[in-house]
Amino acid sequence: MNTAVMDRASSTMIRSSNSGANLALRGIVKSFGSQQVLRGIDLDINAGQFVAIVGRSGCGKSTLLRLIAGLDEPTRGGIAVDGETGQRNQATRLMFQEPRLLPWQRVIANVEVGLTQTMDTRSRRNQARKVLAQVGLADRENDWPGILSGGQRQRVALARALASHPRLLALDEPLGALDALTRIEMQELIERMWLDKGFTAIVVTHDVAEAVALADRILVLEAGTVAMDVTVDIPRPRRRGDAAAAAVEGRILDRLLLH
């Protein structure tokens, strides 16, 4: 079924990057009480790869992402970022489904949340301005988050996540609450930032089309295990409605709907 697995590395080798992190998951099990959500996951993700995790709700995809981001600890097994299993640091950032901006801090200060406290005030401000400009919100730095649109808030959240130049960016359905057009814009922005900065990206989504539009590699999670590992070899920039993309999307949807 998944012949593509054989050469999954081929497309990513070309843009192997020194600013992305390697990720290795070994025998990951996660239980909540008697409920086993993840049942033994082994996974290697290459530096600079864009991986999408899809699956039905309740398949454990968000749990897996939270483990990768260091928000939870696995019940068994280990996760190594660049060979290190310790606490996650500034090198790993997580973007949530909700923007989670501090409503009482202006946009620029919210971006500065992503920067380490050890930096001095001025270079923090400069760095935050730079990232804010990259997500196209340079003119909104002094606004309260409350007056921004949903898409703009999520762009501020992206700027906050990228401010410290993470080597691994985990995204937990970051576009789930946005309307269709804003979604496409955001996907393009995320792709552009990824191409530009070369971090390793792992996105959890329930939208297969989104996974196909963004990812080098798609993992289908089913009942806490990886059921399918698909390499997406469509050249970038990817055009929406592309036949090759539709074929990959169809294959994954067939698998998801079968069960």
Q: Which residues bind another protein (CB under 8 A)?
A: 69-71, 89-90, 93-94, 96, 98, 100, 102-106, 113-114, 116-117, 144-147, 160
- By beta-carbon proximity to another protein, the closer residue of 71 and 184 is 71
Identity of the residue, 108 or 212, whose beta carbon is nearer to another protein in the bound complex: 108
Q: Which is nearer to another protein, 70 or 150 (CB)?
A: 70
Secondary structure, 3-state, the chain: CCHHHHHCCHHHHHCCCCCCCCEEEEEEEEEECCEEEEEEEEEEECCCCEEEEECCCCCCHHHHHHHHCCCCCCCEEEEEECCECCCCCCCEEEECCCCCCCCCCCHHHHHHCCCCCCCCHHHHHHHHHHHHHHCCCHHHCCCCHHHCCHHHHHHHHHHHHHCCCCCEEEEECCCCCCCHHHHHHHHHHHHHHHHHHCCEEEEECCCHHHHHHHCCEEEEEECCEEEEEEECCCCCCCCCCCHHHHHHHHHHHHHHHHC
Give me the least distance between CB of 156 and another protein, in Å please: 12
If the CB atoms of residues 47 and 163 are measured against another protein, the closer one turns out to be 163
The CB-of-119 to another protein minimum distance in angstroms stands at: 13
The minimum distance between CB 88 and another protein, in angstroms, equals: 9
- Minimum CB–partner distance for residue 144 and another protein (Å): 5
Q: Among residues 161 and 232, whose Cβ is nearest to another protein?
A: 161
Task: Compute the least distance from the CB of residue 117 to another protein, in Å.
Answer: 7
